[in-house]
Structure 1
Amino acid sequence: MATRAPAPSTSLPIDDEEVDTLTIGRRIRQLRTARGMTLDDLAQAVGRAPSQLSMIENGHREAKLTLLQTIARALECKLDALLDAEPLDPRTALEVSVERAMRGQTFQALGIAPFRVGRSVPDEVLAAMLALQGEIERLREERSATPEEARRANVALRRLMRTQDNHFPELEAEASRVLSAVDHPGGPLTQRAASDIAAHLGFSLHYVPDLPSSTRSIADVKNGRLYLSTGVAKGDPRTAVLQALSSRLLGHGEPTSYDEFLRQRVETNYLTGALLMPEGDVVTALREAKERRAISIEDLRDAYSVSYETAAHRFTNLATVHLGIPVHFLKVHESGTITKAYENDDVNFPTDRLGSIEGQMCCRRWTSRVVFDVDDRFNPYYQYTDTGNGTYWCTARVEQSSEGAHSVSVGVRFDDTKWFRGRDTANRGVSRHAVETCCRRAPVELEAAWRGAAWPNVRTPRTLLATLPTGAFPGVDTTEMYEFLEGHAPS
C-alpha cells in the first residue's frame, strides 16, 4: 500500500526569526486594545476561549494560520498586519525583547523564572534588564574558550585536515570562481588583480596612517570600503587585501565558539593562498619539478612573489592530493615553541595529553630548531633526522615576525626525498623526543647542578597563553575600531 505524504502544516514555526509567536501575540493585543475590545470580546468573535487567546497573545501558544485569519477578520485588518516582523511601537519592542530574553539560556542558567511584563513596569527597567542580559552574555562568551578548549579545537581541526590531506576542494573551487570573475589569465596574482577582486566584491581600497594597531585591515561593509595601513602599501598589500576579502567571500559571521573562530581563520588563510597561488598553475609547476626531481619551496616562493610560509602552506595543500607525497609542516618560535603544525606522513611530533601539538616544545635536534643556529640565512637549510619512527628530510628557513623570529619547515619521509632539491645534504640529526631525556629533560649532571638555582622569564609567544577568543573579534579593540570607522566614513 502506498504511503500518503503528510499534509503541509498550517501552523507557523515558533522559532522563526522573522515572525515569531511573541511578535504575533503582541500585534494581536495592540490591535485589539486599539479597537476597544476586551479579551472576552475577541474570544466571542472568533469562537475560542479567552484563556486560549491569552496564551496566544503572551506568546505561549502557536496559532494556526486558519485561526490567525479569523482573528484578522475580527480585528478588521489584513493578515499581513499580524505577520509583520516589526513591533508596533518601542514599548512593544522592549516587552518582546525582554520576554524573549527570559526564555533564553542566560535567564535559565541563572535560575530566573519567566514572569509577565505588565504595563506598569517602566521602560527604563526593561532597558536595564536587557543591558544586564547582554553584558552577562558578553562575559560568558569571553570566558567560553579556555586554553584546554582551544587545544581540543586545534586537535579536532588538525584531524580533519589530515583526513583531507590538508586539501579543501570547496575552497579551491571558490578561488577559481573568483579568479575567473576578474578574468585572471593564470599564474601569479598581481596587485592589480587583487584590487580587481576588491572591486568585484564592491570594495574600494583606502590606505590610512591611523589604522588601529590591533587590526591588519578593517572592512566598512556599510560603505564598501576596505582600510589598510599605509605601511602595508609600501610593501606587498596583496595578502592583507585578500585575507580581508576572503571572509566576505566565505560569508563568515561573528563566531559563536572557538571551533568556529579557528575554522574561519584556517579557511581565510587557505582561500588567500589559493588566490595568490592558483591550484591549476601551481600543480602544473610542481608536477614538472617532480619529473625533474627538483621540487623546491624557494622556487614556489620566487615564482609567485609570496612569503616562504605562504609557499610552504600551499605546498602542503597540494602535495598529497596531486603529487602523492605525504608531508609535514612546522612553524616554530625562536623560543622553541611550536605555533603551527600539520602532518600526514606519520612523523611523531610532541603532544600534550589532549593530543595538541601547538604550544609544545619542538625537539632541539629537529630541523626547525637547528636552523636557528645556522649563520647562513640566505640559502635554505636541509637536514635528515633519524627518529624512532623512521628518517625524515626537511627544508627550513627563518623568517621575522612581530613576535620575533620563526622557523618554517616542510618535510617528507626518506623515501620521498628523491623528488626534492637539497636531498644531497650532509646535515644529519637524531631526534628521540618520544624519550624523556632527548630534549624534555636536561642531562642528569646539569640538572643536579642547577635545578633550584635558576629562574627563567619565559619567552613563549603571548598568543599561546591567551584564552581566545575574547568577544566577537578576538584581540581587537572594538571601541578603537568603531571610532576609526566613524571618523573615516564618507559624509
Structure 2
Amino acid sequence: MTDLATLGQRIRHYRGSANLTLDQLGATVGIAGSQLSLMENGRREPRLSVLQSIAAALKVEVSDLLDPAPPSPRAAMEIELERLQRSAVYAGLGLPVIRPSRTMSDETLEAMVGLHHELARRAREAIATPEEARRANTELRQYMRTQNNYLPAIEELAQEQLRAVGHATGALTHRSVNLMAKRLGFELIYVSDLPHSTRSVTDLENGRIYLPPASIPGGHGLRSMALQALAHRLLEHHEPESYAEFLRQRLEINYFAAACLMPLKQSVDFLGKAKSDKNLAVEDFRDAFGVTHEAAALRFTNLATTHLGMTVHFLRVGEDGALYKGYENDGLNLPTDVTGSTEGQIVCRHWAARRAFERTNRTTEFYQYTDAPTGTYWCSTQIGTAASSEEFSITFGVPFADAKWFRGRETTFRQQSKCPDPSCCRRPSQELSQRWSHKAWASARMHAHVLSPLPSGTFPGVDDTELYDFLEAHSES
C-alpha cells in the first residue's frame, strides 16, 4: 500500500525528471494544474485512469508511481514532517502546519523533523508514569464494561484468519499459528536473548517475529505471543502516541489471541452445552482448548454476557491481597483508589480470591458464596504460581441467581463482606489495637514498581537502545 503523500512525492519526482511544469503535465493528461498540485501534495487521490495517463506522459510504469518507497532522501523527510504534523501531540499545540517549499534547505527540513521527533519523545516520557498508566487503564476498563467485554470486530477477524489456515476444531496448533504468520509474510524465530523489557519483537524490515525459546507448559504462551504479534499487523496498529493508545492496542492483541485460541463458535457451543447441563466450569473450558486457567476465565468474560446471558466478574489477586487484574459487569464492588483505579488495591479478606490461599490442597477449584453490600455472589477460585514463584489466585464469579449453571454451586462455604466499609477487614479489632498499638515497629516491604518510572522509548516500558541493539545483532544472522 502506498500512502497519498508518497504517491504525490513520486509523481512530483518523475515530473521534475521530465522537466515538466504542473500546467504542462496537466494539459497532457487532461486535468488542471491545480488538481495535479493537490495530488502531489497528498490531498487528493487520483483515479486509476488518471494515474495511468500520468505514468504514460512521464514515460514510467504505474508501478513506479505506486512504489511505497520515497523517491529521494529529501522526499522522505518531507513525508515524515507531514506525518509528524498530523500527530495529536503537534495538533494540541495549536500551531500552523508548515509546508516545505523548494527553497527550504535540507538542513532546515532535517532540523524541523528532528524537533518533532524530540517533541514526541518528551511527550512519551511525560506519560510514562505509573499514575498515567493507572488513569488510562481505568478509562479502558470502564469502556470495556460498557461493551460487556466483547469486541465483535476482532471476533470476526480471528474467525477469518482461522478459516484461512483451515482450523475448524480442537486446540489451535503451532503449525496453524506458523501458517498464519507465513500468510502475513513473517517467520517465527525462537531466541534466548530477547530484550528483557519485551515479550516478543517483530522485525518489519526482514519479516521476522522473535519469540522466547520456552514458555508456559503446553505451548499456550508461545502461541499466544505469536498471535499477539500478528494482531498488531492485522489490526494496522501504528506506534502509540499516548499511554491510552498503547493500552488499547495491548487489549486488542490479547483479545485477538484469545479469540484464535478459543474460537467464538466452538467456545459458545461448548459453554452453551455445559450451561444446559448445569455443569459450567472454567477448568473444563481451559482443558478443552489447551490454554491456561487465567486465559480461559478471561475468555469466559468475553462471551458470558453477549452469548450466555449472564453478568460476571474476574479477578487476579496476589498472595498479598493486591488486585492485579479485575473486570466486572455484575455489580461487584471492586476496591478502587480516589482516581477510580483498581490496580494494586487490596481486596476484602473474606472474598474467595483470598480465602483460597488458606487451603492446604490448592490443586482443585475453591468454591464460595459471598454476601456483599451489592448482593450475593458465587465464585470459583484457582491458585497459580508465577514465574517469580509468587502465588496468585484467579477468580471467576457470577451473581447468586446464575450459580445454578455452574459446577460447585452446592458448596457450603459462605462469607460475609462489608467492604469498602473499613470495619469489615481493614481495621484490627479493638482488643488487638489496645494490646499492640504503639508497641511494635515493622519495616515495610516496598514494591520496586512503586517508585520506578517506565522506560521512555517508542513503546511504553521498552528500552529503545536494548531493542535496536537486539535487532541489529539478529538482522545479520
Q: TM-score range by the shorter chain?
A: 0.7 to 0.9
* The 10-residue stretch of structure 1 (136-145 or 91-100) with the greater mean CA deviation from structure 2: 91-100
- Describe the SS at the equivalent of 2:363: coil
CA distance in 1, matches of 2:148, 2:109: 53
* The 10-residue stretch of structure 1 (177-186 or 88-97) with the greater mean CA deviation from structure 2: 88-97
In the alignment, structure 1 residue 432 sits paired with structure 2 residue 418: yes
Instruction: Answer whether contact 1:330 1:338 (CA < 8 A) is retained.
Output: yes
Percent identity between the two aligned chains: 46
Report the alpha carbon displacement of residue 109 of structure 1 after superposing the two structures with TM.
8.5
* The 10-residue stretch of structure 1 (364-373 or 100-109) with the greater mean CA deviation from structure 2: 100-109
CA distance in 2, matches of 1:90, 1:249: 29
TM-score, normalised on structure 1?
Answer: 0.76
- C-alpha distance after superposition, 1:52-71 (max 9, x if no partner): xxxx9xxx9x99x9xxxxxx
Change (3 A) 1:253 1:456: farther
- Describe the SS at the equivalent of 1:409: strand
Report the alpha carbon displacement of residue 93 of structure 1 after superposing the two structures with TM.
7.1
In the alignment, structure 1 residue 410 sits paired with structure 2 residue 372: no
Change (3 A) 1:141 1:91: same
- Describe the SS at the equivalent of 1:143: helix
- Describe the SS at the equivalent of 1:159: helix
Q: Which amino acid aligns with 2:194?
A: L
Change (3 A) 1:19 1:441: farther
RMSD over equivalenced CA pairs, Å: 4.5
* The 10-residue stretch of structure 1 (377-386 or 143-152) with the greater mean CA deviation from structure 2: 143-152
Change (3 A) 1:111 1:313: closer
Change (3 A) 1:115 1:206: closer
CA distance in 2, matches of 1:116, 1:185: 52
- The equivalent of 1:244 in structure 2 is 229
CA distance in 1, matches of 2:124, 2:198: 21
Report the alpha carbon displacement of residue 454 of structure 1 after superposing the two structures with TM.
3.0
Q: Which amino acid aligns with 2:463?
A: D
Instruction: Answer whether contact 1:363 1:433 (CA < 8 A) is retained.
Output: yes
Structure 1 unaligned spans of 5+: 1-14, 36-41, 43-55, 66-76
- The equivalent of 1:419 in structure 2 is 405
Aligned residues: 450
In the alignment, structure 1 residue 476 sits paired with structure 2 residue 449: no
Structure 2 unaligned spans of 5+: 24-36, 47-56
- The equivalent of 2:276 in structure 1 is 291
Report the alpha carbon displacement of residue 383 of structure 1 after superposing the two structures with TM.
1.1
Change (3 A) 1:247 1:115: closer
In the alignment, structure 1 residue 172 sits paired with structure 2 residue 164: no
- C-alpha distance after superposition, 1:290-318 (max 9, x if no partner): 12211111111111111000110111111
Instruction: Answer whether contact 1:367 1:382 (CA < 8 A) is retained.
Output: yes
In the alignment, structure 1 residue 223 sits paired with structure 2 residue 245: no
CA distance in 2, matches of 1:289, 1:235: 24
Q: Give the counterpart of 1:390 among 358, 363, 375.
A: 375
In the alignment, structure 1 residue 260 sits paired with structure 2 residue 260: no
Q: Which amino acid aligns with 1:436?
A: P
Instruction: Answer whether contact 1:335 1:460 (CA < 8 A) is retained.
Output: no
Point out the structure with max Rg over C-alpha. Answer: 1
- Describe the SS at the equivalent of 2:127: coil
In the alignment, structure 1 residue 275 sits paired with structure 2 residue 260: yes
Instruction: Answer whether contact 1:395 1:410 (CA < 8 A) is retained.
Output: yes
- The equivalent of 1:454 in structure 2 is 441
Change (3 A) 1:490 1:101: closer
Q: Which amino acid aligns with 1:143?
A: A
Instruction: Answer whether contact 2:243 2:460 (CA < 8 A) is retained.
Output: no
Q: Which amino acid aligns with 2:186?
A: F
- Describe the SS at the equivalent of 2:394: strand
TM-score, normalised on structure 2?
Answer: 0.78
Matches within 5 A, 1:323-402: 323-402=308-387
Instruction: Answer whether contact 2:231 2:257 (CA < 8 A) is retained.
Output: yes
Change (3 A) 1:218 1:366: same
Report the alpha carbon displacement of residue 412 of structure 1 after superposing the two structures with TM.
0.8
CA distance in 2, matches of 1:106, 1:293: 53
- Describe the SS at the equivalent of 2:423: helix
- The equivalent of 1:3 in structure 2 is none
